[in-house]
Amino acid sequence: MATYRSFAEQSIHYFTRPHEAMPAGPVESPAAWRGSEIAQDTSWRFDWTPEQTGEISRALDHARALGKPTGELAREDFPLPGLKNTIDGWRDELASGRGFVLIKGLPIERFSEEDIERFFWCFGLHLGQPGGQNPQGHLLGHVRDTGARATDEFVRLYQTTAQIEYHCDAADVVGLLCMQRAKTGGKSRIVSSVSVYNELCKQRPDLAARLFEPLSLDIRDAKADAPVRFMPVQPSCYSDGELRTFYHSDYFRSVQRHDDAPRHSELERDLLDTYEAIALTPGMYLDLELEPGDIQLVSNHTVLHARTEYEEWPEPERRRHLLRLWLSLER
């Protein structure tokens, strides 16, 4: 039995969101937070204890001795009995709480890069089910500048130093483990998509209603002659009191590069502009400065994430480097 899902399987799982009807008004939810308020409440921040890092070290020794490639390791190959209740709590927070968790202080200086990859993969197995991050099936992404040009329409922006606008990934949860931070910039910015929706309802209920109808999404790395270069996606779905939103600023906008894609109406352009202006309002979002060893976990259903532009160190060994993991959670 595979320990992970393919990119297609994970995407289908993520986009299979129940929908009944647009909510009658603002949505009440633990995920409806504001950055200015939550910055004063650090209950979303956790620090590894010496006992927990000791258990991780023992699990690494066990997994390493098995001699398996990282992608073939299963949950039982990386035993974490003492962390079970803690990990269960993080999973609940992502699925039905605030929608994000920050875990600080993994002593990565003690481990090789191969061991850090092994840990992060197996940590994901305890939290959910990892999945492919692109059609090529990459399972553990390395987020760093490759020297690619941000203006290249086929380049993924995480491979550059450019600012990345608000978006969601096609997985229930995205995890980032910081290996090296940038010289300056590169902050992780998150905002509650539930709070953005609630504010949009107050300001422009006509635009809020448009979120429950499909918008065309650009398939960024699809070539000009690819059979599928864009697809319809309903940004928001609402069922049983839960609002789940997929939003991708760059790809909702760049779809207009395809001559046969539907042209944005004035209402749709207004929606994109207003939605993002709300999400960028000071006090609405939270900026996180990830340090080496920090792990950020974010729900792609209730939180949008972005990244500020950054400047690299001149020394190659000091350049910004994060590991990325996409996870599906059982519902």
Which tens digits make up the pLDDT trace of 20-46?
Answer: 999 999 999 999 999 999 998 889 999
What are the two backbone dihedrals, phi and then psi, of residue 293, each rounded to the nearest 5 degrees? Answer: 95, -10
Q: Is the Cβ–Cβ distance between 281 and 206 less than 8 Å?
A: no
In angstroms, the CA 40 to CA 135 distance is 40
Q: Which residue has the higher pLDDT, 326 or 220?
A: 326
Mean pLDDT of all residues in 302-326: 92
Res 267 pLDDT > 70: yes
Q: What is the pLDDT of residue 173?
A: 98
With cut-offs at 50, 70 and 90, classify the pLDDT of residue 222.
Answer: low
Q: Which residue has the higher pLDDT, 263 or 134?
A: 263
Q: What is the pLDDT of residue 121?
A: 97
Domains of the chain, each with CATH number or no CATH: 7-145+157-328 (3.60.130.10)
With cut-offs at 50, 70 and 90, classify the pLDDT of residue 16.
Answer: very high
Among 3-12, 52-61, 110-119, 214-223, the least confident range? 214-223
Among 193-197, 226-230, 287-291, 322-326, the least confident range? 226-230
Instruction: Return the exposure string of 290-302: e unless at least 16 CB atoms fall within 10 Å of the residue's CB, then b.
Output: bebbbbbbbbbbb
Q: What is the pLDDT of residue 156?
A: 64
Res 240 pLDDT > 80: yes
Strands 140-143 and 321-328: antiparallel
With cut-offs at 50, 70 and 90, classify the pLDDT of residue 307.
Answer: very high
3-class secondary structure, 108? helix
Res 264 pLDDT > 60: yes
Res 324 pLDDT > 90: yes
Res 159 pLDDT > 70: no
CB atoms within 10 A of CB 206: 11
